[in-house]
Amino acid sequence: MPGKIVPPVSAMYGKPDTSMHAPADAPADRLRLFFQQAPGMIAILSGPDHVFEFANTAYLDLVGRHEVVGQRVRDVLPELEQQGTVALLDKVYATGEPFIGRRMPVTFPRQANAPAETRYMDFVYQPVVDDQARVTGIFAQGFDVTRQVETEAAFSESEARYRLFSEETREGVVIHNGDVILDCNPAYARLFGYGDVAEVVGLPSTAFVTPKSAALLQEKGALGSEEPYEIEAIRKDGSVFPAEFVGRVATWKGQKVRIGLARDLTERKRREAALRESEAHFAAIFDQSAAGLAEADLTGRLLRVNDRFCEISGYAREELVNGRRMQDITHPDDLPGNLVLFQRSIETGEPFDIEKRYVRPDGSEVWVSNTVTLIRDALGEAHSMASVSIDLTARRDAEAALRQSESRLRLALDAGRMAVWESDSRTNTVRTSPELNRLLGFPEEASPSIEEIRARYAPGAQDRLRAAAAAALARGERNAEEELEILWPDGSRHWLLLRADLEVMTGEDGAVSIKATGVAFEITERKLWEERQRLLINELNHRVKNTLATVQSIALQSFRHTNAATGSNVTAFQERLFALARAHDILTRDNWEGAELRDIVGEVIEPYCRESSGRCDIDGPRVRLTPSMALALSMAVHELATNAAKYGALSVSDGQVSISWSIAPGEPRQLTLCWQERGGPPVAFPARNGFGTRLIERSLAQELAGEVSLAYVPTGVVCTVKAPLPEAMA
């Protein structure tokens, strides 16, 4: 307690010590609890102005006020100054001599706007002195003896006045001679469950307490004790309840009796139990909280911690609350700023938040978020500091990982010369990075508007970007990719590859907008290389065609002076050159990166099917061939078609040719192509193998790294080709 010396409870009717000191190691909290629950009235006054430093429940109940701590006696009870009570306090404070008052009348209103009441008090004013014997306050203890005084007055005046008093009071009043009940008021009878006073009179005095408490009742009566005490009371129906008894010796109708008062303590006990339960509840919350909770005094010394705080700090509870301070476990680098905030909070009462590190016993560090709040006592003075600690280790680790990830991303972007950008169609804005500015031909520190950026798009580029985004969203995809041609102010052409993540947003007004975040790569060199490659391939194709034309011319010149110049051999040779040229044309369209099987078959057989409309059936899945496979199959299909037109199914009007293929799964996948003729002249096994047969059976199988079989069945020629498909061919 703020008073430097706490006096013990004095005997009311003995001469008090002229100077009283509390033991240096007096447990103040226990004394305060004892004073609070004492049945007598106790108050502690501080200083010459007699400021209430403490007042127990009995005192507050008497004066009918509940907010007295911190106020002067003359302000709380101004009537006492007029009646000389304040003057008595002044005298005790000035002289250091105690004052004992017996049955002294005090008049004051016990409730606001209520008339003044006169109460009779037995009390003592005990001076409180410090180590230098200086008076610092007054310890006041007393009992309200109004009822006793009034009871005695009533007895001396008349039986009627006694009855009036006893019936009006709310407490149970009883008169007994130690053995039996002589009289009581109706409140006493009701308190113990009896219908009227007549049922109570004549009963043993011990009939109203449990056997366990009967001895205590008789002991108090034998000693003549006038101090209140608690007892187990029993009602007429046998139910037990807590009660407070107090009595004194008096004379009634010429005999020595004991007049007692009884009060039911059930409600008070219920409130006390509720308070204990509430305190236990909050204690459980404190101990079991997921956050680290701690209380420290104004010097930083830890007073109380919960289990979570121990887990975070790494210390056992006993280590923390046995003299260790907040300063002892705070990282030295974080302590100066923490102390500034700590002291400022004590001075201003303002809470503060801080992120700092605790140093654990093993030397490791843990980051916490601390919220610190000042706790005030009943007088409004700073009492202690409460803190809530949240472990930030996971968050800090995540932030560090994020920083590392961002650093790696930044290095990757810089190494790959990638530019980052973000656009929003709702606001029609774009955010660029310095690298993107460079790619667009702006200074790195520039912040170009969306209009300035679009002004550098090549014609049609913006429409292609929108079409690419729309196509991706239509497919249910969030990622889009498109090439963008840029025209710099100096007239140079540049190309960027844009890749974006698309987010569709709907505003409160229902308007739909697209937010895109992505990267940009410069592909100008690649585009220029592709253009040069196309020129080179076109030139190569031109030279191949010229070469084929030269070969044809040389062949005709060579056959001119022979009988074979106009024969079938020359024609076959020319047709094979034409087939080779058509295959080259298909590969040329795809820059010699491969060709579709359907295109190869269709291109070669088209002249024969054109003359035999409806008799050629081509069927099979999409298959892309390498250039070498395309050329080999082109020549083989040409030989089969030529043979069918001369001797087979295509040589008659009812003949048909079916060309089909399939792909079998596996590693690698297997291509199976089947050429089958039906409805032609009867087929017989040839007497000798010509060039076409050798081309198909040997060269094709070798080029495809597969198998080729020719079957000369009577219904028509059947050629089956089986070859593995290289990886990535489909």
Q: What is the pLDDT of residue 637?
A: 82
- Residues 10 and 92: their CA atoms lie apart, in Å, by 16
User: Out of 37-41, 442-446, 575-579, which region has the weakest mean confidence (pLDDT)?
Assistant: 575-579
User: What's the average model confidence in pLDDT over 338-353?
Assistant: 92
pLDDT band at 405 (very low <50, low <70, confident <90, very high): low
- Residues 544 and 558: their CA atoms lie apart, in Å, by 21
Neighbouring CB atoms inside 10 A of 163's CB total 15
Contacting residues for 301 by C-beta, under 8 A, at least 6 apart? 323, 324, 325, 326
pTM assigned to the model: 0.32
Q: Does residue 196 carry a pLDDT above 70?
A: yes
Q: Is the dihedral of CA 208, 212, 215, 216 positive or negative?
A: negative
Token pair in block for residue 2: 């703020």
Supply φ then ψ for residue 134, to 5 degrees.
-95, 135
Parallel/antiparallel/unpaired status of strands 656-664 and 616-619: parallel
Q: Is the dihedral of CA 560, 566, 569, 573 positive or negative?
A: positive
Q: Does residue 283 carry a pLDDT above 80?
A: no
Neighbouring CB atoms inside 10 A of 309's CB total 23
- DSSP label at 651? G
> Residue 322 CA to chain centroid, in angstroms?
35
pLDDT band at 153 (very low <50, low <70, confident <90, very high): confident
Q: What is the pLDDT of residue 21?
A: 46
User: What's the average model confidence in pLDDT over 24-46?
Assistant: 73
- Residues 471 and 500: their CA atoms lie apart, in Å, by 13
Helix (H), strand (E) at residue 442: none
Q: Do residues 389 and 357 make contact, with C-beta atoms less than 8 angstroms apart?
A: no
Helix (H), strand (E) at residue 12: none
Question: Each residue of 447-476: pLDDT tens digit?
Answer: 888 888 888 888 988 888 888 888 888 888
Q: Does residue 608 carry a pLDDT above 50?
A: yes
User: What's the average model confidence in pLDDT over 703-716?
Assistant: 85
Contacting residues for 460 by C-beta, under 8 A, at least 6 apart? none
Q: What is the pLDDT of residue 594?
A: 67
User: Out of 286-295, 424-433, 633-642, which region has the weakest mean confidence (pLDDT)?
Assistant: 286-295
Q: What is the pLDDT of residue 155?
A: 57
Q: What is the pLDDT of residue 20?
A: 45
- Residues 189 and 235: their CA atoms lie apart, in Å, by 10
Q: Do residues 658 and 678 make contact, with C-beta atoms less than 8 angstroms apart?
A: yes
pLDDT band at 239 (very low <50, low <70, confident <90, very high): very high
Q: What is the pLDDT of residue 586?
A: 58
Question: Each residue of 367-394: pLDDT tens digit?
Answer: 998 899 998 887 889 989 988 888 887 7
pLDDT band at 510 (very low <50, low <70, confident <90, very high): confident
Supply φ then ψ for residue 723, to 5 degrees.
-150, 145
Burial bucket for residue 675 (CB in 10 Å: 0-12, 13-18, 19+): buried
Q: Which residues partner with 722 through β-bridges?
A: 672, 707
Q: Is the dihedral of CA 569, 570, 571, 576 positive or negative?
A: positive
Supply φ then ψ for residue 103, to 5 degrees.
50, 40
User: What's the average model confidence in pLDDT over 468-494?
Assistant: 87
- Residues 656 and 648: their CA atoms lie apart, in Å, by 9
> What Cα–Cα distance (Å) separates residue 194 from each residue in 247, 517, 534?
21, 88, 119
Token pair in block for residue 24: 């240096």
User: Out of 157-171, 222-236, 460-474, 530-544, which region has the weakest mean confidence (pLDDT)?
Assistant: 157-171
Token pair in block for residue 99: 């004052």
Q: Does residue 364 carry a pLDDT above 80?
A: yes
Token pair in block for residue 694: 């050798």
User: Out of 28-32, 344-348, 628-632, which region has the weakest mean confidence (pLDDT)?
Assistant: 28-32
Token pair in block for residue 587: 């590969």
- Residues 642 and 575: their CA atoms lie apart, in Å, by 9
Q: Do residues 368 and 392 make contact, with C-beta atoms less than 8 angstroms apart?
A: yes
Q: What is the pLDDT of residue 185?
A: 87
Q: What is the pLDDT of residue 17?
A: 45
Q: What percent of the chain has pLDDT over 90?
A: 19
Question: Each residue of 626-673: pLDDT tens digit?
Answer: 877 877 787 788 788 888 888 888 888 888 899 999 998 888 889 899
Supply φ then ψ for residue 49, to 5 degrees.
-90, 0
Q: Do residues 393 and 292 make contact, with C-beta atoms less than 8 angstroms apart?
A: no
Q: Does residue 518 carry a pLDDT above 60?
A: yes
User: What's the average model confidence in pLDDT over 514-518?
Assistant: 84
User: Out of 42-51, 88-97, 416-425, which region has the weakest mean confidence (pLDDT)?
Assistant: 416-425
Q: Which residues partner with 510 through β-bridges?
A: none
Higher pLDDT, 559 or 100: 100
Q: Does residue 284 carry a pLDDT above 60?
A: yes
Peptide bond into 332 cis (omega under 30): no
Higher pLDDT, 402 or 32: 32
Q: Does residue 340 carry a pLDDT above 90?
A: yes
Burial bucket for residue 210 (CB in 10 Å: 0-12, 13-18, 19+): middle
- Residues 293 and 291: their CA atoms lie apart, in Å, by 6
Question: Each residue of 116-137: pLDDT tens digit?
Answer: 888 898 989 999 998 888 999 9
- Residues 214 and 220: their CA atoms lie apart, in Å, by 10
